[in-house]
Structure 1
């Protein structure tokens, strides 16, 4: 339920006690998803919290304190980070994240100069929707492997699968039946409930928490300090196309946020500023070893329920995230979460990502019965999920989601009757 019944404006500062509670509420809303991403890709959850907090503060500065949005780990980059890390370790993934952040900046400049349709004419719902579905469905095997198999041996484990199913059940029940703010944090309830069930089955080793100190600096990965970054065309092809898709998602988030708050953030402070803020936050994450950042729907939900739009509350949540990243026992506790628990949560979460792509097609009233739309969506889905790739040379490979995105855009540009791929009239409609 809402902690505040009176609307608090964007520039209002709540009383200190309410300020802390409301900021904690935002932190809890983003916490489960933000730590899940680094857990899945082998990065530090503590660093993810640090980069999330610093990225949000940077976002607020870039948008001149006019957009109450919190940024957390992006799920769209899970598979690309895993692929980039396989090629060049986590350092390679950070180089890719940096390049993705630069793309945000470049597109922000284009939007500032030529308007949003200059970009969105290349990204109709018939391209973006199926690519989002590929992002979710492409990770399905990862979720099932974590849920069913023993992490060390990789063999099937009934106990692990039971814990995963318990976690999934709790997450589903929390999503369906909890009301108000609690309905926004089903991942948190799922992880906590799954963790307790794993504890009962003896899958949790609590010793690392006991051994950890209360204060510990996050294990950051800093370019030219802990490693020397090296450019790779293959990593660029893996990461950069996904940034184009997440920008389309960002625009959707900004439209929803504008409706919730009652202000047109597309016009003021301008879409170019919010996209640039996303890019700066992602670059900050790449300098620290965290996953790329993006605006969070959970936090938009918190704004809608509480009617507290204060950027000072958002900034407070960011500061708390940074503070938590330096609590050693907290980071150790996250590391003790069994993979089965994360697998159980991921079964629902990755499905929700895929379903959100389907929802984009439905919301925009895309007629899949039309040959143009059927062809584009079908090709994107099979190439993306099937794992197709183009081997340019021994060092460069364009694969998976990146290849599906590129081919989807090309098909949209060359096939006739472009208007049908935009569905109902929106700001994304081709001019």
Structure 2
């Protein structure tokens, strides 16, 4: 019996309606930018498996480091203990994070990193005797599937059944270059009528909102407003972090830095699950007390797992290497050239790019998980390219090691797909 047949017996997959999609493609091997299924078919992974495997699958540099670590220390409780991979990772991260970041808190996935960021923002005020219970977030944002993260997310397709249980969140539009003053007026109205604790946001690119991009100058104005009103800023860089936007972090495009940052996905190069919530010294100091109850009581069994820390350390070393930095520039230039040849196509409504992230919107409206979207996905796979459309948006976020010929195949496949839309 094939893997995909055996899969159907017991497995429940994420973001899947199994009555409509009864079979999953069984992947047996991956290397570089290529996935291989149980029938030997090969697919270029043009979205780096949800933006994680940015240095390619099964990267020898990373797997060799992890293999050695597995012989030394596999797992130890991180409450009351520490170890070299965690210490070294904290030192490496502080070198590349915005300069105001000074403390590192470990968890195990993007949702929990945001959950912790929200708890830090709420408890920051609580520890100082202020009851602030409202959060601000962008419209159409997505921050994960735990309850705090769902609360600040704005995509009801994911969160609708749970809305009655959410935290108090007020939403504002993303800045587009023309609505700055209106957003600031809305923010002023919110702070005059609510006790606002924090602002949770995806800087510059909203991934699940179909790579919707917004204006850096407008975001800078929002962040300054928050600073002036003692609103804790929480940057969700789970998707944007580690070079994808052309800088180490999207927050590097703004002068005003976040108080808290949430990191996962490419953090461990797709090899191990792990997440980090970093914060400034000021945030940490609000928890530093003789009162035990003012501590941050949040913990995960696998926090700071030594193997995951080792994978992250190797990934950062690759990120900073000349080869990867040059590859990122090459991919960016390649996307720009593709944009010139595709943006005026009659089936293309609009295009956008930031760093190695490229997205185009089709002129055809389609449901986020509808028949036309499914047809496109199947077409891409039959052509040997793994692309996962978000409704009428097709996006590319390939590993930094993708070759020019592989990129060209991705581009050609998208162009061919336009003829069937």
TM-score interval, smaller chain: under 0.3
Structure with more contact order per residue of length (Cα contacts < 8 Å, sep ≥ 6): 1
Task: Report the TM-score, using the length of structure 1 for normalisation.
Answer: 0.23
Task: Report the TM-score, using the length of structure 2 for normalisation.
Answer: 0.23
The structure where strand makes up a greater share of residues is 2
